[in-house]
């Protein structure tokens, strides 16, 4: 889920953590490479990897830089991307809006009559925009399941309706919102969100390492192992624990390519891309399937993170998509929360010598 505090608030701690490393390196890549081993030594992850992509605007093919630390991790690995799935689902929904097959102002009730009805929730008053921006007030079903129980979409929504709601109209991150959006996509198109994402995003962009596994518990080859914080191997996992909110399997290369194409306008017309990046509804916290992060140097990057049992991944990009960084660790918990913002600052902030 998105970070709960801005990175500028912890810039002082970053200087204490990695300042000497950053200052002594000559390039952004070297600065990021210097931080990456800390995910293993201080973050206690078994392994970490990053892949950056940079377009210089000359029209030449983008350059890339890969680094890894620890064992059992590689650039070509397939891994579970958790909530980064939400950016894919949001893109499909916004494409349908561009085709006038739905409106973001439509209510959930229009497409899923009777599905969202409870003591504190009413689909007649919740719009698709509220689902996209996490302002629906619907509780998060994973508060009960902890991402370990395979569910149908309807079961996930039913669980959410038994929980105390958040305040409607205020940002409150909830995977229930995107489970519902997956159901809306099926209702509108007659196809699953996975099939629509394959047709609209994965195939056109040539994301050969990206898939929606459905109920398949194994990862495609090649892949490493995935571990929980206590060391349990959870490489095999039923993706129905997350569904439209987090089932995606992908690679570092594919995520860099996807976010570069998305922010460059390859997937959405300008009006809908502006809608995706509009954070007013969520009071600056979240757009539609993507969120901004302001770094200590004042630069704002856009992207998403994803956590699912055994895996954590984060993609961040400049607003034009020309510079993209994706990093991952093969565990779901890191002991030092300052490492991620330090890595983003090293990659995206201007160099100081």
Assess whether pLDDT exceeds 80 at residue 4: no
Four-point Cα dihedral 47, 258, 300, 16, nearest 10: 10
| Residue 9 pLDDT exceeds 70 | no
Cβ–Cβ contacts within 10 Å for residue 278, how many? Answer: 13
Give the pLDDT of residue 310. Answer: 97
Distance CA 311, CA 10 (A): 24
Is the four-CA dihedral 116, 121, 123, 126 of positive or negative sign? negative
∠ CA 192-196-202, rounded to 5°: 130
Mean pLDDT (the chain, rounded): 93
pLDDT tens digits, 221-239: 999 999 999 999 999 999 9
Neighbours of 232 (CB within 10 A): 10
Our CA angle for 274, 278, 281, nearest 5°, is 145
Task: Return the pLDDT at 7.
Answer: 44
Is it the case that residue 21 has pLDDT exceeding 70? Answer: no
The alpha carbon of residue 321 and the mean position of all alpha carbons in its chain are separated, in whole angstroms, by: 15
pLDDT at 8 over 80: no
Strand partners, 293: 301
Q: What is the mean pLDDT of residues 307-334?
A: 97
Higher pLDDT, 5 or 288: 288
Which band of pLDDT confidence, cut at 50, 70 and 90, is reported for residue 264? very high
pLDDT > 60? residue 29? yes
Any bridge partners for residue 327, and if so which? 50, 314
Stretch 159-187: mean pLDDT: 96
Q: DSSP state, 82?
A: G
pTM of the model: 0.94
pLDDT at 19: 54
């Amino acid at each position: 889920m998105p970070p709960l505090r801005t990175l500028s608030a912890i810039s002082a701690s970053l200087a204490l953590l990695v300042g000497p490393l950053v200052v002594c390196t000559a390039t952004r890549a070297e600065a990021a490479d210097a931080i990456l081993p800390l995910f293993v030594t201080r973050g206690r992850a078994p392994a970490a990897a990053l892949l950056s992509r940079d377009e210089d605007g000359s029209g030449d093919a983008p350059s890339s830089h890969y680094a890894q630390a620890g064992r059992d991790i590689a650039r070509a690995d397939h891994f579970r991307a958790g909530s980064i799935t939400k950016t894919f689902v949001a893109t499909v929904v916004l494409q349908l809006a561009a085709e006038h097959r739905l409106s973001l102002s439509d209510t959930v009730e229009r497409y899923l009559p009777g599905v969202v009805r409870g003591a504190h929730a009413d689909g007649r008053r919740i719009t698709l925009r509220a689902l996209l921006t996490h302002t629906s007030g619907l509780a998060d079903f994973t508060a009960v399941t902890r991402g370990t129980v395979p569910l149908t979409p309807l079961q996930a929504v039913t669980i959410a309706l038994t929980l105390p709601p958040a305040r409607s109209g205020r940002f409150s991150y909830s995977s229930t919102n995107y489970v519902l959006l997956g159901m809306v996509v099926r209702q509108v198109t007659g196809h699953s969100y996975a099939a629509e994402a394959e047709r609209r995003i994965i195939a056109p962009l040539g994301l050969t390492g990206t898939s929606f596994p459905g109920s398949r518990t194994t990862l495609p080859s090649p892949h490493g192992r995935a571990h929980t914080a206590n060391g349990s191997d959870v490489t095999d996992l039923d993706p129905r624990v997350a569904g439209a909110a987090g089932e995606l399997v992908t690679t570092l290369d594919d995520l860099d390519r996807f976010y570069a194409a998305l922010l460059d306008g390859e997937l959405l017309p300008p009006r809908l891309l502006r809608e995706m990046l509009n954070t007013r509804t969520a009071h600056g916290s979240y757009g539609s399937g993507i969120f901004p992060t302001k770094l200590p140097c004042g630069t704002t990057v856009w992207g998403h993170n994803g956590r699912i049992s055994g895996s954590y991944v984060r993609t961040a990009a400049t607003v034009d998509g020309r510079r993209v960084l994706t990093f991952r660790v093969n565990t779901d918990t890191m002991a030092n929360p300052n490492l991620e913002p330090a890595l983003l600052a090293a990659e995206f902030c201007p160099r100081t010598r």
